[in-house]
Amino acid sequence: MTAQGMRALLTDGRIVSIRRLAGSDAASVLRLHEQLPEHDRYLRFFTLGTARLAAFTARLTAADDAHRGALGAFDGAELVGVAHYDVLDDPAAAEVALVVNHAVQAGGVGTLLLEHLASLARDRGVRRFVAEVLAPNGRMTRVFVDCGLPVSVDHDGSVQHVIVQLDPDDHYLDAVTERERRADAASLRSVLCPRVVAVIGASRRDGAIGHAILRRIAEGGFGGRLFAVNPHATEIAGVPAYASVAALPEVPDLAVVCVPAAAVPGVAEDCGRRGVRALLVITAGLTGDEPVRRGLLDAVRRHGLRLVGPNCLGLDNTDPRVRLDATFSDLAAPSGPVGVATQSGGAGIALLDQLGHLGLGVSTLVSMGDKYDVSGNDLLRWWLGDDPTEVAVLYLESFGNPRKFSRLARRLAQRKPVIALRIGNTAVTQPAAASHTAAAAPPAATRDALYHQAGVIAVDTLTELVATTAVLCWQPVPGGSRVVVLSNAGAVGVLAADACASDGLSLPELSEHTRATLRELLPQHASVDNPVDTTLTSRSMSRIRAACPTTTTLHPLRVAVSSSSASKATTEPPTAAASFPPLDVRMITSPPSTVK
């Protein structure tokens, strides 16, 4: 944990910084405790007195060591919560206590402090926290019980003795992941579902990026209010313009920043002071200029802003309630089921183009650029609760927190497919990938192992990415791995069966009952073994479709044979499935009970 602390999200999406307390925090710690309502002070200290607060504060803000630790949660410069522990005679046990500003209780401050304090103590050899909580202090007891760690509570009259085991298990990690998902989704609403948007640096010139983004938002039918910020105009492209962020008639949820790099930190500071919740920084050139980069990050942390970018294409949310297209791409993204998170704006444009040719659209697209804040992990959390997103597509050049990515991607992949485009597969291309967005690209073997562990479908080319996305959008996920292949051309059916078997699918031997049923439906010279050859009789497939149980899924496929003699199967879109092609092959997938 750095001196600046770690940014953490509250349940309402606001950002606090959690860091170790120091002597310079003594006045803030004392003020926090002195300003507690009498009831809160009694619940914390079992007394209404304040005489010993100064000595308590001095001990709390002294340099910590292996025997004790103290953390504070800061909302900007204001201390809103404190958590600390003191090791007992048993070095594996420590007494823990928390206090939170009454105005922000129930916002998740106590839970966040407990999580971080438990991690600090665990690293120092502490294995359990103990606490004494007055019975009326049910809110504090719930913080312990709901944190996800194993907790026991013994009642002794008016006092509850609480023991929290600090060794994390899957239940705890799942609880943390779910808390992070809810908080992240709340914070990203200002990014992806803003009610008020301001484009700062919107030029009157048609060819300027700021002008293009402003026009795209306006013409895309944005469902909220839109303003431009330009000191030299009162109206741009039909949108009212104001001289500064301070002059805007409403506080924007999202500010789109299209000003020169040197001006970005000042704009971020102005936005933070005005109460803006999120920034979308299109501007490039910050990462190579350390004072400018640091100035932007300092403003973001000081005011608790979410930040997309810098050096990015923008973002798009096609939800009809939002209709926010804040990009400068020439391609307007149609609405669809694909969620896209990309570090490369060019890759995002290419993907939109190819998906558009297939009639597929996006639910959300976020170009993260140099990803100072919002990352692929944030989008994975968003898609976990976003019903319009049915397939998640990733173009990632680096992983800020690989362990968290693995857990989030695995959780999302259990609900909806996650596809990733692999890049930097060779020693030649890895430096190029890293320099593109100043990202630290992981070794290819590490990345591939991460994808495999998380259940991510990894592909190597944009063509594969689009084809795989199309398959998963057009066809339902099979109920199992058992497959029966039906074809009206025997050789094509064999190729499809080979492709299925080579990818680990099971082609079960058909029972005599199933073969007898097929003989009744098909011509005499048809083959009723798996793969089934129905011959080129036009009515055969229709008869089989009518005879299939409702739990069975028929997937129309087209099979192409490459020069390497490997077969590749890709799905036809729904419109092509209405009329059977001259060579028609179908895979039947079903639960085991329906293939007899």
pLDDT digits (tens, 9 = 90+) for 239-257: 999 999 999 999 999 999 9
DSSP string, 80-101: EEEEEEEE-SSTTEEEEEEEE-
Distances (CA, A) of 426 to 399, 420, 451: 18, 17, 17
The pLDDT-based confidence of 486 (bands split at 50, 70, 90) is confident
Rounded CA-CA distance 593/584 in Å is 26
CB atoms within 10 A of CB 176: 18
pLDDT digits (tens, 9 = 90+) for 446-458: 899 999 999 999 9
At residue 551, the pLDDT reads: 45
| pLDDT above 70 coverage of the chain, percent | 86
The pLDDT-based confidence of 490 (bands split at 50, 70, 90) is confident
Residue with the bigger pLDDT between 2 and 184: it is: 184
> Measuring CA to CA, which residue among 391, 473, 458 is closest to residue 421?
458
pLDDT digits (tens, 9 = 90+) for 6-41: 999 999 999 999 999 999 999 999 999 999 999 998
Distances (CA, A) of 545 to 27, 474, 525, 540: 76, 18, 20, 9
The pLDDT-based confidence of 584 (bands split at 50, 70, 90) is very low
Residue type, 328: F
> Can you list the positions of beta strands (E) in 57-142?
68-75, 78-87, 93-100, 128-134
Query: Tokens 């497939």 appear where?
Result: 541
At residue 64, the pLDDT reads: 77
pLDDT digits (tens, 9 = 90+) for 377-414: 999 999 999 999 999 999 999 888 899 999 999 999 99
At residue 583, the pLDDT reads: 42
The pTM of this model reads 0.82
pLDDT at 81 over 50: yes
Q: What is the 3-state secondary structure (H, E, C) of 213-270?
A: HHHHHHHCCCCCEEEEECCCCCEECCEEEECCCCCCCCCCCEEEECCCHHHHHHHHHH
Mean pLDDT computed over every residue of the chain: 87
Q: What is the 3-state secondary structure (H, E, C) of 508-542?
A: CCCCHHHHHHHHHHCCCCCECCCCEECCCCCCHHH
At residue 122, the pLDDT reads: 96
Element holding 302 (H helix, E strand): helix 290-303
Residues 6+ apart with CB under 8 A from 320: 223, 335
Rounded CA-CA distance 530/508 in Å is 7
The pLDDT-based confidence of 330 (bands split at 50, 70, 90) is confident
At residue 579, the pLDDT reads: 34
pLDDT at 540 over 90: no
Q: Is 20 in a helix, a strand, or coil?
A: strand
At residue 523, the pLDDT reads: 87
Distances (CA, A) of 299 to 19, 76, 266, 520: 18, 10, 8, 75
The pLDDT-based confidence of 439 (bands split at 50, 70, 90) is low
Distances (CA, A) of 304 to 81, 175, 176, 294: 16, 24, 21, 15
pLDDT digits (tens, 9 = 90+) for 95-153: 999 999 999 998 999 999 999 999 999 999 999 999 999 999 999 999 999 999 999 99
